[in-house]
């Protein structure tokens, strides 16, 4: 009960802050929460399971487009639209995962990168259905018992998705499945020898994390009630990757901190560095990889270990 209580407290707390913010900061906050969701899932796929897939943001887009097209272009009820979106995302993820499990490292990266580009090409050629490059707008969620789910009132939805994603990932991580994933990341042959079904595990991880990204995408669709292809650009996956690296690859806290840091700092330093902020990011990532490869969490761990050693020594 206490465990459930702390999750509920997080839901309330993270949602309540939203009501105290100006509309600009609220917008940033909601987008930040969504980026954190993506980071947590991507960290599991890349940091914990060692799968270099560049399709995470594409699935974010697939989820967004699926729910909007099913619900507002084809007229399905919202619940069916969401369920349909999840089904489509999972199916596509399966379609991508099954043939690519045989691919090692960079080939998987290339295949998923090609898939991500293909997604943009398909959306760009989809005519009225996908809105092509102009995107789809002018839709909105139905009111929730009379409360319009816009602005601060929409935050609980995003927070809910965030907490569910986090809970699921944490649960997976601490199970045999999580250990299998780490084994696959560190030494696939040894894992296979130890009885881990490497191919099946990889497929499950890919489908699961991609579907979680799709659900996050569905949440995104209703933040501004507008979706268009440039939002799901290739740049975004690089940004996500950098967040994981700087935060600490393979660490949940690292993913969260990396996402929060890179997202917020971008807006905070912009008045000072203007159009140079992406350049600075690139440099920071490079420095982190060279000098602090375990990221911020690695630095934090080292600090704690140092303190502990000092305490013991005295």
Report the residue number, 36 or 215, with the smaller CB distance to other proteins: 36
Report the residue number, 33 or 82, with the smaller CB distance to other proteins: 33
3-state class percentages of the chain: helix first, strand second, coil last, to nearest 5: 80, 0, 20
Please report how close the Cβ of residue 39 comes to other proteins at its closest, in angstroms. Answer: 11
Residue 126: φ, ψ to 5°: -90, 5
Report the residue number, 7 or 144, with the smaller CB distance to other proteins: 7
Please report how close the Cβ of residue 250 comes to other proteins at its closest, in angstroms. Answer: 12
Report the residue number, 80 or 117, with the smaller CB distance to other proteins: 117
Please report how close the Cβ of residue 80 comes to other proteins at its closest, in angstroms. Answer: 25
DSSP code per residue over 4-52: HHHHHHHHHHHHHHHHTS-HHHHHHHHHHHHHHHHHHHHIIIIIIT---
Report the residue number, 29 or 59, with the smaller CB distance to other proteins: 29
Give dist(CA 41, CA 92) in Å, integer: 17
Please report how close the Cβ of residue 216 comes to other proteins at its closest, in angstroms. Answer: 14
Q: Over the range 275-290, which residues count as b (16 or more CB within 10 Å of their CB) and which as e?
A: eebeeebeebbeebee
Residues 6+ apart with CB under 8 A from 312: none
Report the residue number, 2 or 310, with the smaller CB distance to other proteins: 2
Give dist(CA 113, CA 115) in Å, integer: 5
Please report how close the Cβ of residue 303 comes to other proteins at its closest, in angstroms. Answer: 13
Report the residue number, 209 or 236, with the smaller CB distance to other proteins: 236
Give dist(CA 81, CA 76) in Å, integer: 6
Give dist(CA 57, CA 53) in Å, integer: 10
In this structure, is the dihedral angle defined by the CA atoms of residues 189, 194, 196 and 197, taken in order, positive or negative? positive
Report the residue number, 84 or 267, with the smaller CB distance to other proteins: 267
DSSP code per residue over 184-235: HHH-HHHHHHTT--HHHHHHHHHHHHHHHHHHHHHHHHTTSSEE-GGGG-HH
Please report how close the Cβ of residue 75 comes to other proteins at its closest, in angstroms. Answer: 19
Please report how close the Cβ of residue 226 comes to other proteins at its closest, in angstroms. Answer: 5
Please report how close the Cβ of residue 260 comes to other proteins at its closest, in angstroms. Answer: 5
The 3-state DSSP class for residue 139 equals coil
Other C-beta atoms lying within 10 Å of the C-beta of residue 179: 15
């Amino acid at each position: 009960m206490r465990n459930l209580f702390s999750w509920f407290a997080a839901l309330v707390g993270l949602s309540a802050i939203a009501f105290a913010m100006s509309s600009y900061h609220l917008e940033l906050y909601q987008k930040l929460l969504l980026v954190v969701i993506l980071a947590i899932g991507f960290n599991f796929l890349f940091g914990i399971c060692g799968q270099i897939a560049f399709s995470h943001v594409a699935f974010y887009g697939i989820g967004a487009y699926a729910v909007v097209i099913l619900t507002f272009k084809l007229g399905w009820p919202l619940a069916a639209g969401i369920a349909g979106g999840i089904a489509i995302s999972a199916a596509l993820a399966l379609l991508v995962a099954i043939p690519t499990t045989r691919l090692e490292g960079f080939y998987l990266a290339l295949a998923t990168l090609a898939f991500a580009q293909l997604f943009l090409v398909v959306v760009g050629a989809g005519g009225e259905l996908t809105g092509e490059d102009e995107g789809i707008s002018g839709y909105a969620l139905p009111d929730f018992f009379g409360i319009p789910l816009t602005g601060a009132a929409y935050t609980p939805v995003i927070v809910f998705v965030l907490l569910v994603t986090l809970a699921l990932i944490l649960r997976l991580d601490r199970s045999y499945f999580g250990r299998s994933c780490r084994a696959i990341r560190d030494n696939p042959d040894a894992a296979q020898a130890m009885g881990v079904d490497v191919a099946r595990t990889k497929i499950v991880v890919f489908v699961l994390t991609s579907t979680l990204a799709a659900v996050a995408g569905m949440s995104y669709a209703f933040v501004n009630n507008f979706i268009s292809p440039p939002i799901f650009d290739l740049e975004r996956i690089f940004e996500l990757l950098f967040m994981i690296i700087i935060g600490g690859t393979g660490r949940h806290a690292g993913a969260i901190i990396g996402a929060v840091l890179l997202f917020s700092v971008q807006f905070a330093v912009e008045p000072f560095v203007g159009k140079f902020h992406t350049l600075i990011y690139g440099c920071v990532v490079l420095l982190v990889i060279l000098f602090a490869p375990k990221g911020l969490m690695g630095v934090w761990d080292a600090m704690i270990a140092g303190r502990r050693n000092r305490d013991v020594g005295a």
